[in-house]
Every structure is written in C-alpha cells, then in structure tokens.
Amino acid sequence: MTQALSQNAVVAVIGAGAMGAGIAQVAAAGGHPVKLLDNRPGAAAQAIEGIRAQFEKMAARGKLSAEAAQAAGARLQAVGQVADLFDAALVVEAIVENLQVKQTLFKELETAVSEGCILASNTSSISITAIGAALGNPQRLAGLHFFNPAPLMALVEVVSGLATAPDVASTLYDTALAWGKTPVHAKSTPGFIVNRVARSYYAEALRVLTEGGADCATLDACCRESGGFRMGPFELMDMIGHDVNFAVTNSVWRAFFNDPRFLPSLIQQDLVDAGFLGKKSGRGFYDYQDGASKPLPTTVPALARPHEIVLYGQSAAAQALAMRLQANNVSFTQAHALGDTLATAGSATLRITDGRTATRCAVDTQTPNTVLIDLALDYAKATRLAVSVAAQCDDAAANSAIGLLQAAGFAVSQLQDIPGLIVMRTVTMLANEASDAVNQGVCDAAAVDTAMRLGVNYPCGPLAWANHVGLAQVSTVLGHLAQTYGEDRYRTSPLIQHHVFAAKDFS
C-alpha cells in the first residue's frame, strides 16, 4: 500500500530559486495545493508566473490538456511568511546551502506547522543528521534531493539522517513516485549517492590530464565515443562550473576526513584561482569566447591494413572485432583463447588494459610489441578507441595494431602510456566507489545504478558495468593502479573483493 501523501495535502516549498521553483512545479503537477515562500520580496510570485508559463507551454505542445495546465497553475500560491505554512503536510526547503541558515528555518518551521508535517531539505551536500540536530523532533526530517532541472530529471534521493523515522522516508519515497519521479533511498553520508560516486568521473580524467596522458578534447572524445557517456568529463566540468564542481569535490573530500579517494586536483584549484570557471565565464578547459572553436580530438591518421590478423577466443570484444572486420571485408583468422591476448596484427599483440602500463605489460608478458586497448561500453558500437603502446614496441608493430582497429572502423586515439587508459580506470573507480557506498550501507546496488543512470545520465549503472567487465577484471585493474601509484586512493572495495572470492557479482 502506498504511503504517498494524498493529492489534497498541502505541499510547501521554501526558496523560489532554480530548485525550489522546479520542485513547486513538480508538486503542483502532482495535484497538490502548493505554497511557495521566499524571503526575497516578489520572488515567489515571480517564480509562480514562470511555472504557469511552463504549464502553458506544455499544454501548447500537447503534453497536458489546457484544463490540466490551468488547474495546475491555479494550485500554486505565493505566501509571505513561515506562519502561512501552518496547514502544510510537507515542507520542502530549497534555500541557500548553509547549515546554520537551514537550521534556523527548520526551527522556525517546527513551531509553525502541525506535528504530523514532514520536513524535507533539498540540500545536495549538508548532512541531514546535522540539520536535524537543531530540531525538537528530528524524526520528521529527511532529505528530498532533486536534480536540476527538477521537472525534467527523474531521480530523487530520499535521504535518511540518523534520526529520520523510516515512515517519513517511506512517505517521501512513495510521494516522489506518485509525482512521476524515480526515488532511491540513501543514508545521509557525504555526497549521498550521486555526488559521491560521480567524483571518480572527474578525478580520473583530471589525473590522466595531470600526467599528460592526452589533451582534454581527446579524453572527452574517448569517454563519449568509447565509454558511451553523454558528455566527456572536461566539457561536463566546464558546464557545471569549476567553482561549483571544485566546491563539491572539496566538501566530499573534507567530509570523508581527507580520504585520498576524493582528493581534489590542482588543475581545478588553478582554474578557480584564475577565474576560468567554464562556460559561464567564457573559459574553462575550453575557450567559449566568440569566434573560438572547440579543439578536435587527436586521432591517428589512416594507416595500412595489416596483412595477418588473428583474433583469439570468444570474448565480447573479440566477437565485436570479428563482426566489424567482416563488415569491412577485412580478412582475419580466429584462434582459441590465448591468455589475455585479444588479437595479433603482424608482430603486434593487442590486449585490453588490465591497469598495467603497456610498457610493464610488455615486460611481464615478454611481449615487447604490446599495444593496449581501452574499455568500450560496447565494442560493437564504439566509434573511437584509445590505445597505448609499450616503450619497447617497434613502430611497424604499433602501426599494425592501430591499422587493425582502423580497419574495424574505429577512430584511434593514442594516449601516452598511462595505466588503465581512460575509460577503464574511470569505470573501475566509479564501480569501486559505488561498491563502497553499498558496502557501507548507504544504499543498495540497484539504487546506486539507478541513481547514476538517472542523476548524471551514465549509459550504464557502474555496478552493472562492473558485472559486465567481470569483477575479477575490475579487481585486477584496481590492484594494478594501486601498485603503480602506491596510493590508498585505488584500494579495492571490500565488497568487490568479497564478490570475486565468492564468485558472485552485483546482480
């Protein structure tokens, strides 16, 4: 039985900024009378005008009947003070991101609303437990974390603090469902789910950039065209704004007592210091000023098709290569699996990265002509692949390996010989963090995958992706990264280790 609030329950939203207005729109569309309050005179009324215009637009596009749009708009009311929220069944706070200011507001609210009224905060980074500490009845407080823009983004994190009553979290979950959202439960820990796990998407790319692995445009292109991410990490950081992104990174890092997993990058610090905040300031990693053009990814020019191509085993990558070569009328032979060799082309051996550098791999496997390939979300569909070439590899062999991939229809970006290339290390670190969130009871495995797909549009949940790669392989990659860097940052999540030994995965 659903515990959702009934449609006649009054929903109050405090803060009529970007988020508050969006949340008010969602609640009004969900059928509730909505009271909107902002301490900036006129802000609530102005936001309501904007929401009504949105409803009208939706009606004009046929997404809503004219009557429904009119009715939803009429359910919104601007109010001037906290006392006006006396009849609310739920108050969602979306004011300035400051603990003291939020605590003061919730304390005032406690005296204004009925005992049964649920209090929720849309905070993206402040502990729900800490906000609740100021309240006489912290059981009724939870996080209700929408994503921007709230009317369009499906995900809502329902965040329970230490004192939050399970019933309150259930009511919020069911109410978000009734509003057409996809809620997930999360425990109040730094960054909740999305802002915690997503750190790795930026952190690994920044690491690779710091180490000169490739330029931003190339790394972005690999993440999009090979990893299937909608936006590359650098263009995404430029869009979010480095001030905002760096502040979130810092806050999560500090909140985890400086855990090196979340260590911010000096590059971010520099961009913020320089005022290069991204798109909004005209310059970030990229130049957005008039007349500036976006740099192209570095792509190896077309090379000759190698004469002797052998594909080994029946892995998804080998099968995809076979299919692509066939489609392009390139001849090859197939052989039984041979260790982790994916293919040979002339004298080159191609392997998928396992977190070692190509140079180390060449030594360990006594195969000087080693070329490593990055992870692709789907080797059958990827349009670009990153490769790295061992220092010992001769030019003819490197050209044969790259020629094979080009013959299979990939644009090839050759990165410097950094460990784990870009997509593999990013995905394994996303999965590592997602696994720790599950292991630490923040949420369950399904929730973290849903959250990352819907909150930041990842093409696949990190744990489902890790299952697909194989947890043993994920663990090997992380182990090799840890060996190379000697840093606690790359420690393997205990739950991944457990699953590898138990021959289980996250499904």
Residues of this chain that interact with ligand NAI (CB under 6 A) are 14-20, 37-40, 43, 94-97, 101, 105, 122-124, 146, 148
192 phi and psi angles, rounded to 5 deg? 50, -125
Measured from the CB atom, the residue of 14 and 345 that comes closer to ligand NAI is 14
Q: CB of residue 203 vs ligand NAI: minimum separation in angstroms?
A: 20
Q: Which residue in 140, 76, 96, 152 sits closest to 114, CA to CA?
A: 140
Q: CB of residue 78 vs ligand NAI: minimum separation in angstroms?
A: 12
Catalytic residue among 110, 157, 204, 225: 157
Paired residues of 500 in beta bridges: none
Kind of pairing between the strands at 333-335 and 309-312 = parallel
Measured from the CB atom, the residue of 97 and 444 that comes closer to ligand NAI is 97
Q: Which residue is nearest to ligand NAI (CB)?
A: 17
Phi-psi category of residue 503: left, alpha or beta, with phi > 0 → left and psi -120 to 50 → alpha: left
Q: CB of residue 170 vs ligand NAI: minimum separation in angstroms?
A: 22
Q: CB of residue 129 vs ligand NAI: minimum separation in angstroms?
A: 16
Rounded Cα distance, 424 and 353, in Å: 7
Measured from the CB atom, the residue of 40 and 63 that comes closer to ligand NAI is 40
Measured from the CB atom, the residue of 96 and 296 that comes closer to ligand NAI is 96
Measured from the CB atom, the residue of 43 and 113 that comes closer to ligand NAI is 43
Cis peptide before 149, with omega less than 30 degrees from 0? yes
Catalytic residue among 195, 251, 388, 399: 195
Exposure letters 9-44 (e unless 16+ CB within 10 A, then b): bbbbbbbbeebbbbbbbbbbbbbbbbbbbbeeeebb
Measured from the CB atom, the residue of 14 and 184 that comes closer to ligand NAI is 14
Q: CB of residue 108 vs ligand NAI: minimum separation in angstroms?
A: 9
Catalytic site residue 124? yes
Residue 209: exposed, middle, or buried by beta-carbon count in 10 A (0-12, 13-18, 19+)?
Answer: buried
Q: CB of residue 443 vs ligand NAI: minimum separation in angstroms?
A: 17
Stated as kind and residue range, the H or E segment containing 267 is helix 266-274
Catalytic residue among 121, 127, 145, 235: 145
Catalytic site residue 157? yes
Quick one: how far is CA 397 from the chain centroid? 37
Q: Which residue in 284, 298, 316, 293 sits closest to 222, CA to CA?
A: 298
Catalytic site residue 308? no
User: Three-state DSSP class for 369?
Assistant: coil
User: Which amino acid makes up residue 173?
Assistant: Y
Rounded Cα distance, 436 and 458, in Å: 18
Q: CB of residue 350 vs ligand NAI: minimum separation in angstroms?
A: 42
Measured from the CB atom, the residue of 65 and 81 that comes closer to ligand NAI is 81
Rounded Cα distance, 47 and 53, in Å: 10
Helix-strand-coil split of the chain, %, nearest 5: 45, 15, 40
Note whether 118 and 168 are within 8 A (CB).
yes
Which residues does the annotation mark as catalytic? Answer: 124, 145, 157, 195
